[in-house]
Amino acid sequence: MAIRNITVRGSEVLAKKCKPVKEITPRVRELCLDMIDTMHEADGVGLAAPQVGVLKRIFVAMPYPDEAPDKVYVMINPEITFEEGSQESCEGCLSVPGYMGVVDRPERVKVKALDIDGNEFELELDGFAATVICHENDHLDGILYADKARDFMTSEEFYEKLNSEAEAGADE
Ligand SMILES: [Zn+2]
């Protein structure tokens, strides 16, 4: 297992549509395990294959970082099969370091995918966990949250704004 370099915004590979995985070869498994290591090393909750320069439909995700940090999923050829509701999600991305923004996401999703052994599984997620899956899945279609975010700004500015909004709210 190894840590791979994370590609940053501006690189063409992040804007391309990824291809489905036809066969889960040892090389694909190694990629998945490297992606998990790389996600942990970068302190992220998700990482998609194009972020390490590979145009395959694979991402890894840790949708419950506080409640269940041991739940790390490898999703190969993922497909969002159901979406419901909406939420505003504050997001950042390992490929857009130092920035944050607000994205409209569904409140609840179902996603099906193959695991690292090629077994199909399905998850139902809501709240923050749903946004993680949607964010990573977008990467596989060449979409960065930064392309569709409102209030896209540096993390510093973002937290200042949140704080000032909280203070304004407290005065009311
Ligand atoms: Zn991202």
Distances (CA, A) of 17 to 40, 61, 137: 25, 19, 11
For residue 18, pLDDT over 60 is answered with yes
pLDDT of residue 165: 87
Inside any domain, residue 22:
yes
Nearest to 49 by CA among 34, 62, 71: 34
Distance (Å) from CA 38 to ligand 1 centroid? 13
Selected catalytic residue, list 84, 136, 167, 172: 136
For residue 148, pLDDT over 60 is answered with yes
Inside any domain, residue 71:
yes
Is position 165 annotated as part of the catalytic site? no
Q: d(Cα 99, Cα 118) in Å, to the nearest integer?
A: 35
Inside any domain, residue 153:
yes
- What strands, in cross-sheet order, belong to the sheet with 46-48? 46-48, 58-61, 73-84, 108-114, 120-126
Tokens representing 139 are 């990467």
Distances (CA, A) of 30 to 15, 24, 35, 38: 24, 10, 8, 12
The mean pLDDT of the chain is: 95
CATH of residue 126's domain is 3.90.45.10
pLDDT of residue 5: 97
Inside any domain, residue 84:
yes
Nearest to 100 by CA among 88, 109, 108: 88
Residues 46-91: pLDDT tens digits? 999 999 999 999 999 999 999 999 999 999 999 999 999 999 999 9
Distance (Å) from CA 163 to ligand 1 centroid? 24
The domain tally of the chain equals 1
Nearest to 49 by CA among 76, 70, 23: 76
pLDDT of residue 167: 86
Q: pTM of the entire structure?
A: 0.94
Inside any domain, residue 139:
yes
Q: Which domain holds residue 71?
A: 12-171
Distance (Å) from CA 138 to ligand 1 centroid? 8
Distance (Å) from CA 88 to ligand 1 centroid? 16
pLDDT of residue 47: 98
Inside any domain, residue 49:
yes
Inside any domain, residue 88:
yes
pLDDT of residue 166: 86
For residue 162, pLDDT over 90 is answered with no
Inside any domain, residue 23:
yes
